[in-house]
Structure 1
Amino acid sequence: MPPRRKEKYKLPIPLPEGAVLDDMEGKQWVLGKLIGSGGFGLIYLAFPTNKPDKDARHVIKVEYQENGPLFSELKFYQRAAKKECIKKWVELKKLDYLGIPLFYGSGITEFKGKSYRFMVMERLGIDLQKISDQSGTFKKSTVLQLGIRMLDVLEYIHENEYVHGDIKAANLLLGYRNPDRVYLADYGLSYRYCPNGNHKQYQENPKKGHNGTIEFTSLDAHKGVALSRRSDLEILGYCLLRWLCGSLPWEWSLQDPVAVQAAKTNLLDELPESVLQWAPSGSSCREIAQYLVCAHNLAYDEKPDYQMLKKILNPSGIPLGPLDFCSKGESLNMHAPNNQQVDSRKAATKQVYQVQNTLIGRKGHRERSAESRTPRRKVQEEKQPTGLFNSETVPVVF
């Protein structure tokens, strides 16, 4: 039985270090040091009893059994993110990795008369919020690479009927043993937008409005609409803009969700100029403007063209290198010869409009007029993923 949603979740009493937990498959795990806590749960280092390791490669997330977020995250992994499924996807799409933390087991344990739910996960490293707090902004090449890596993850979870709903720097973690890899973590707020192939219908509900992390949440979430794929893409777009520019136009209004919603509406309605004008002096947000144009033009139940979005972030297909979180310095120009001026607002605007016009002209695409913004009631029939990464396509990497 799922936990009751209306209960107020409580942070659990810590379990003792050294406790042995039995997961549902009979594997035993030893709790190590308590290393963190969230709104409703605790995180411990852990290792299997048959492989003790001072440098733990696993963590265990613990909550009271009646709490909700860990239950939701567990269901996501059981339905959509088993290790063998991720492995097959990586092979199908010819990726070097997929940034979803690996799941190793789960179970229920008792302590002092209370029932605890636990999940055993891959251990990860530092989150990007801590890095952002130190540096303020990231290099442009790093921002675009993060966008591409997150699109890989979103395509996978969307194809498996889920949206993440809370993409932000605090939920992006570097690999523990390989810090050149980035992972999207925390699926406690993930939402099954298309259960059994039946897409949720568009319905505004003011009582559920402004859900999510207010700084990044989508316009649909502000309106109380159940999240769909376009919400994840919109949230990611705001993150990219924040990481590159250091701030967002509504950061001074975060205590007023209605004002934040209005500012986001203005930004999207005035694309691409609104994003291009937000860029710091000497920088260009052209790729992010193009990306947001595409995300904003999606219908509520429309399947995104993930490959096109990745090409927008890296049109030259330059191979991915290590993630670079050093001081921002000069933005890298990856899109034109050195003698070509690409950062002028006029040239950037022209290129974004070309992308926008191409979108509008594509077969089956509907313009985002007031009428076309009304969601479709019939879900598009979509084929299984077969051709987004064909044999002629090299994975988009920096």
Structure 2
Amino acid sequence: MSKSVTRFLKKSLIGEGNFGQVFLALDQETSVHVALKIESSNDTSCQLINEATVLKNIQGGVGIPKFITSGQSGDRNYLAIELLGPSLEDKFLENDKKFAVAVILDLGEQILSRLQYLHSKQYIHRDIKPRQFLLGPAEDPSTIYLIDYGLTKSYIIEKSNAHIPYMENRPFVGTAYFASLNTHQGIEQSRRDDLESFCYILAYFCSGELPWMPKIKIKTTETKILVKKMTSSPIDLFKEAPSEFLQIMIYVKSLQFEEKPNYEYMNSLFQAAKRRENINGHTLNWSISTENNFERHKMTHLSTNSKSGLKNKIRKNKRSMSHKLKRSRKKTNGLAADSIIVSKSCLKQIQSFIQTSDYDFSKTLEIKEMPEFKNRDILLKKIGSAMKVQQFLSIPKSRTEDIDNLDNHKIASEEPSAKSACEQTNCKLF
């Protein structure tokens, strides 16, 4: 064992994942406890090496763990960073999956700030979820830290200083519960995908769960999560949240692949909500009441123009579906046409089938009564490709009164070809 790694005395295992282990260790040079991450050097993913490189490049930011040292010893890579507190997921479970509105607003503001800083350093995280955010050390418990940069990559090409190109059929990278729809569908990730995952975190903290999370701990495939996620409207996703969260989600979904997000706009929405709640500065008081009463925060009506604009957008998306499906003939890749192309009547069946309120979405993988589809994976791809926007904007008439200012944002309407990523090794559920 190298002199460098013998510097640390392992005390106990504090974490374990697909790519290695994390130990509480004593730095014998400074007598300070640290987090020591270890992975096999035979792992072709080399996530720890990537994490060390990223961490060194982003040092100095608020909520960024201090890099201590890294290296290789025998058949192991190691990385030592400062020891932090519990994760937001741990705190959420400890509080019976209930956070007070003041806490959620503070967490949202801090998480957005961490993402803005990371993006300013030309990196995207690609695995944003509650477990990646830790409370600070004992001397700084109110600061939220962003960790785990093993899947992080630069969105800028170093030689040309250009944005990475839009690509399809990419392997799944991230955690299925919090991944963006584009990530599920095999589209190259960019800054917008980190932010969509951030929106799912907000919804999770407000509701205690996400619609695609199973009620009991059972094995859930990435494809089943995709189908449920695709057919969950943003209105229902944020029905227990301040209206500003829905506005953030709508804005994030409008972002183009290379577009720089307007972090100031999103932050202003958090500030507006905090002013309404008479919240000043940062407060992570976990003991305050968790009785979240958002009734006065919700958008209670639509102007006539907003209603008209929403209906026009939905009609436009419906009209474009047939054209999009015809264009998909060019992407058959040798597969039988009747396995790919959706007839109008079949499309109506799919819409009715999926939108049935009491339908168990896991049964989507067992569709047999639609002869146009001989391959169930192809069915899911076409639903993802042709109905992405329409499903996202599918809002029950009884809930349309909850939307406001929709016309102030453009709606993303690109039509990427979907790639099922169920077999990819970087897909995680938690």
TM-score when scaled to structure 1? 0.69
Matched residues in 2 for 1:183 and 1:349: separation?
37
Shift of 1:321: 3.0
Q: How does 1:300-319 map to 2 (within 5 A)?
A: 300-315=257-272, 318-319=279-280
Matched residues in 2 for 1:357 and 1:266: separation?
22
Superposed CA offset, 1:167-191 (max 9, x none): 1122111112122121111111112
Check conservation: 2:35, 2:81, Cα contact below 8 A: yes
Q: Report whether the alignment pairs 1:116 with 2:167.
A: no
Residue aligning to 2:31:
52
How many residues align structurally? 307
Distance of aligned partners of 1:225 and 1:51 in 2 relative to their CA distance in 1, 3 Å threshold: same
Matched residues in 2 for 1:147 and 1:182: separation?
10
Greater percentage in helix: 2
Q: How does 1:160-239 map to 2 (within 5 A)?
A: 160-177=121-138, 178-196=140-158, 197-205=161-169, 208-209=171-172, 211-239=173-201
Q: Which among 31, 38, 44 is matched to residue 62 of structure 1?
A: 38
**Secondary structure in structure 1 of the residue aligned to 2:174:** coil
Give structure 1 stretches of 5+ with no counterpart. 1-18, 87-97, 334-339, 361-366, 376-398
**Secondary structure in structure 2 of the residue aligned to 1:346:** coil
Q: How does 1:1-398 map to 2 (within 5 A)?
A: 21-22=3-4, 29-39=7-17, 40-53=19-32, 56=33, 58-67=34-43, 68-78=46-56, 80-83=57-60, 86=61, 98-110=62-74, 115-134=75-94, 135-177=96-138, 178-196=140-158, 197-205=161-169, 208-209=171-172, 211-252=173-214, 255-267=220-232, 270-271=233-234, 273-276=235-238, 278-279=239-240, 284-315=241-272, 318-326=279-287, 328-331=289-292, 341-343=296-298, 345-346=300-301, 353-354=404-405, 356-360=406-410, 367-370=411-414
- Given residue 22 of structure 1, which amino acid in structure 2 is its aligned partner? S
Give structure 2 stretches of 5+ with no counterpart. 303-398, 418-430
Distance of aligned partners of 1:369 and 1:59 in 2 relative to their CA distance in 1, 3 Å threshold: closer
Matched residues in 2 for 1:71 and 1:155: separation?
23
Shift of 1:141: 1.7
CA RMSD of aligned residues (A): 2.9
Check conservation: 2:210, 2:237, Cα contact below 8 A: no
The more displaced of 38-47 and 242-251 is: 38-47
Distance of aligned partners of 1:328 and 1:192 in 2 relative to their CA distance in 1, 3 Å threshold: farther
Shift of 1:118: 1.3
Residue aligning to 1:10:
none
Larger RCO, structures 1/2 (Cα 8 Å, 6+ apart): 2
**Secondary structure in structure 2 of the residue aligned to 1:329:** coil
Identity of matched residues, %: 26
